Homo-oligomer: A and B are copies of this chain.
Amino acid sequence: MRADAQRNYDRIVEAASEAVARDGAEASLEEIARRAGVGSATLHRHFPNRWALMGAVFHGRTEELCERAGELESVPDPHEALVTWLRELAAYSATARGLAAVLLAEPLQQSESCGAMLVTAGEKLRLRAVEAGTVRPDVSIADLLTLVNAIALAAEKTGPAEAERLVSLAMDGISARPLRR
């Protein structure tokens, strides 16, 4: 990649980050290009569609979340580690407007994508919890991520606190029965 192309790429991602923070994932691509100081054609050449751009925008944050998953592997209680991570993921998704939509929209299998990164990071936490016997083995990491993303998407209007509450609710279940762990 040529040096100037790299510079434009970075400028676009930076402008897109600001735009997404302000307007959500539906931000105008034209305006992003304008603010990045490039033509709209340049934006469309680097990112063939909106999701590709959003993927780049959220890539950094996704890496942080994956690192956080790594940290949580050293938490003694595997169940707590998993639930904590899922709650943090929900809280961040609910704040960074559009991340949840991007994660749900993009095919989860495709490597290099944000979704794939989260799958591999989260799978370790899930497996540890299953081995500890606190999580049903028939629940896949894809199930958990879909559930959490769904909640984050729904809670985008009501805020991260509500998102975390709903995640806790879904993890524990709605039934009034004593917790036996």
Residues on A facing B (Cβ under 8 Å): 79, 104, 130, 133-137, 139, 143-144, 146-147, 149-151, 153-155, 157, 165-166, 169-181
Tally of this chain's copies: 2
A133, A173, A178: most-surrounded residue (chain B CB, <10 A): A173
Also in contact, A155 and B146, with CB within 8 A (given A135-B175, A181-B177): yes
A-B contact pairs, 25 of them (CB 8 A): A104-B154, A104-B157, A130-B176, A133-B176, A134-B177, A136-B175, A139-B169, A143-B165, A143-B166, A144-B174, A146-B155, A147-B166, A149-B154, A150-B150, A150-B151, A150-B155, A153-B154, A169-B170, A170-B173, A171-B175, A173-B173, A173-B175, A177-B180, A177-B181, A178-B180
A144 and B135 CA atoms in complex are apart in Å by 22
A178 and B181 CA atoms in complex are apart in Å by 10
A36 CB → nearest B CB, Å: 27
